[in-house]
Amino acid sequence: MPDDRSTDDTLEREDQEIAAEIAGDAESLLDALPHYYRGEVAQTTTAQDRIDQTTNWAITVLAALLSVVFSSPDMPAYLLLVGMVILAVFLSFEVRRYRFYDLYRSRVRFVQENVFANALDPRGVEHANWREELGEDLRYPTFKVTLLEALSRRVRRIYALLFAVLGVSWVAKVTLFTPESRWTEAAELPGIPGPVVAGLLALFFLGLVVLAKWPGSREAKGEIHGEEPGEWKETGENEPEP
Is residue 174 within 8 Å of residue 183, measured between CB atoms? yes
Q: Residue count of the chain, please give it.
A: 242
Does 226 map to a domain? no
Does 238 map to a domain? no
Does 234 map to a domain? no
Number of domains in the chain: 1
| Residue 140 pLDDT > 80 | yes
| Cα separation, 32 vs 193, whole angstroms | 65
Does 49 map to a domain? yes
pLDDT in tens, 174-189: 888 766 668 888 888 8
Q: Average per-residue pLDDT in the chain?
A: 82
pLDDT band (50, 70, 90) for residue 216: low
| Cα separation, 4 vs 118, whole angstroms | 47
Is residue 66 within 8 Å of residue 169, measured between CB atoms? yes
pLDDT in tens, 47-75: 999 999 999 999 999 999 999 999 888 88
φ/ψ of 192, rounded to 5, equals: -125, 120
Does 241 map to a domain? no
Q: Which domain holds residue 69?
A: 2-219
pLDDT in tens, 129-139: 888 888 899 89
Does 196 map to a domain? yes
Helices and strands in the chain, H and E counts: 10, 0
Does 242 map to a domain? no
Does 229 map to a domain? no
Other residues' Cβ atoms within 10 Å of the Cβ of residue 190: 5
Rounded to 5°, angle at Cα 145 from 136 and 140: 20
